[in-house]
Chains A and B, each alone.
Chain A
């Protein structure tokens, strides 16, 4: 009798311990992934950014903080341009995506999934090809430039390709689905009865939108803008294919330092500065929008 009671209690203890371990076990694969593919590379990148030397003579670690100073003084224009282009593209994407997501969520009916598929359809084609397609569309002999010249928006030898507008348009286009999808999810989740309740309490349609729909969709706005802004800041394909060195963003600089000039320390330092810049921007943005209000 006593033995049974004892082993029963033991089983209880083991079960209790297992329950306490369960969350960590569930976390383990993700943590392992992060350690191997994020922490370790970050460590190497960090040490690289403090080395000096060249590919021929080899790189040595020397706490070369000057890499950072150089990165900022030499390339601050490209840094600022990256933030500017990404910011403008994110804003345009938001303005374009919100009505689209709203329409699909509330008016899409049984075609919702089809419309969502259409939104992500361009993703079935490689990034590079999509951007090259834009090069054709915006080309000097292309239809868009022709029409804009005809209606005198562009001068007789005005062009679209190789301008900031082309780069920003390309970025907007390429990251649009990252904006539409989170917006759609947050709008789709809104209980239609809440809008009935707002109408019941004398709120007209615009007012219900401002006081109910918009605040409840803010988590989607937040997720969408971050998912667009962060990768857009580091982008280099659009500037390379649709712009000129005058439009180069920090991604172009890092890419050429790494792959063409093999100036690894400088490239690594630039990457860290970019990361810090994005982090600051995102923190400021989070403060502004307030995560607490979002999850309320």
Chain B
């Protein structure tokens, strides 16, 4: 008999932010955010330009001093620690490779500082270059490499140190679309392979959805919502998340009963009771365009007129004017010979109540 029991399914938290705030003169770049990032996660910080993503990342890395709040790496409070004493490494947006050093020396920089020498040093540098698929370039200088290659070197230079957490600040921003898509998958593969926690900053929701298993959406210095890509898409918590992550139809409504709202022109609509979360009065309900059917058949029904239709191969997109506002609908072209409705045609839209979510009405709407 032993009295000591292991804590149930211990999840290790690698990064913990506690009420972190950063003020630049009169700008509040990061406004009181708290966050736990678990070990081994591919974590994305998503948000529009200027929302404070980089500032948050720079504070974790130790390049910016927080105005208030604490930062923990594992158990350790690192808030006042200089960056060279933190067990994190960063891939900068501009890569910041040392132009005067060879690729080998760039990658070896951190290892040398920590006293790795000789064969061990050589082996680890070459392994890191192999991991990013750039063996054989170790004698070149950074400026002799393409943008994509430099990006990989920056990644190798950080990963070779086996940090507790790897910070990436829009590392794919400078690459063209095709290379970016390829690198997204590559990064994900590498993260699986090394098992290090990645914190990835991006303003591209598609990129965040593709790569991350946890996403935090930020807006003007605050956290709007944290969750898995599915959470954010299926159950957005705010109007901002609903329209920033994918496309949403937001319709103003008034709560008229449990699981029941009335749209502005009077139509009664059923919604899951849970999504109202005890709200009364004004709400905005949201439906994703691909969850709406053309024609009746589901419980919630709305009549309208086609304003525009666009055939884009895999699907057809409609803008439908309804008394409750304009609604966009996306129909998969999964049957042969499907014909699109033309502008001006009257039709009925319907959708499953379970596909409906409710959020606070966005600011600035009456």
Contacts and interface: CB of A to CB of B under 8 A. Distances in A.
Interface in A277-296: 293, 296
A106 to B, nearest CB: 15
Interface string A204-226: 10010001100110000000000
A17 interface: no
A56 interface: no
Nearest to B89: A200
A212 B105 CA distance: 12
B80 to A, nearest CB: 15
B82 A199 contact: yes
Contacts of A215: 100
Contacts of A216: 99-100
A194 interface: yes
B304 interface: no
A196 B83 contact: yes
Interface in B34-82: 61-63, 82
A211 B100 CA distance: 10
Contact of B92 (A196, A203, A211, A296): A196
Contacts of A199: 62-63, 82-84
Interface string B274-307: 0000000000000000000000000000000000
A201 B141 contact: no
A202 B84 contact: yes
A202 B85 CA distance: 6
B139 interface: no
Nearest to B167: A200
B84 A203 contact: yes
B286 to A, nearest CB: 40
Contact of A197 (B85, B98, B100, B114): B98
B109 A203 contact: yes
A193 interface: yes
Contacts of B148: none
B90 interface: yes
Interface string B221-249: 00000000000000000000000000000
Interface string B111-144: 0011000000000000000000000000001000
A198 interface: yes
B157 A201 contact: yes
Nearest to B90: A200
A199 B84 CA distance: 5
Given A193-B92, A296-B141, A200 B98 contact: no
A57 to B, nearest CB: 61
A194 to B, nearest CB: 5
Given A193-B96, A212-B98, A198 B63 contact: no
A197 B113 contact: no
Contact of B96 (A191, A204, A293): A191
A194 B63 contact: no
Contacts of B100: 212, 215-216, 293, 296
B96 A197 contact: yes
A207 B158 CA distance: 18
Contacts of B61: 196, 200
Contacts of B141: 296
Contact of A203 (B62, B90, B99, B113): B113
B110 A296 contact: no
B260 interface: no
Contacts of B161: 201-202
A203 B158 CA distance: 13
A191 B157 CA distance: 18
Nearest to A190: B99
Contacts of B205: none
Contacts of B90: 196-197, 200
B94 interface: yes
B335 to A, nearest CB: 53
A202 B96 contact: no
A226 B218 CA distance: 53
B106 to A, nearest CB: 9
Interface in A140-197: 191, 193-194, 196-197
Interface of B: 61-63, 82-85, 88-90, 92, 94, 96-100, 109-110, 113-114, 141, 157-158, 161
Interface of A: 191, 193-194, 196-204, 207, 211-212, 215-216, 293, 296
19 contacts: A191-B94, A191-B96, A194-B96, A194-B99, A196-B83, A197-B90, A197-B97, A197-B98, A198-B109, A200-B61, A200-B63, A200-B84, A201-B84, A201-B110, A202-B114, A204-B84, A207-B113, A212-B98, A293-B100
Given A201-B89, A211-B109, 12 more contacts: A193-B96, A197-B90, A199-B82, A200-B84, A200-B89, A200-B90, A200-B110, A201-B109, A201-B113, A201-B161, A202-B114, A293-B100
- Which 5 residue pairs of A and B lie closest in terms of their CB atoms, listed nearest first? A201-B110, A197-B96, A202-B113, A193-B96, A199-B83
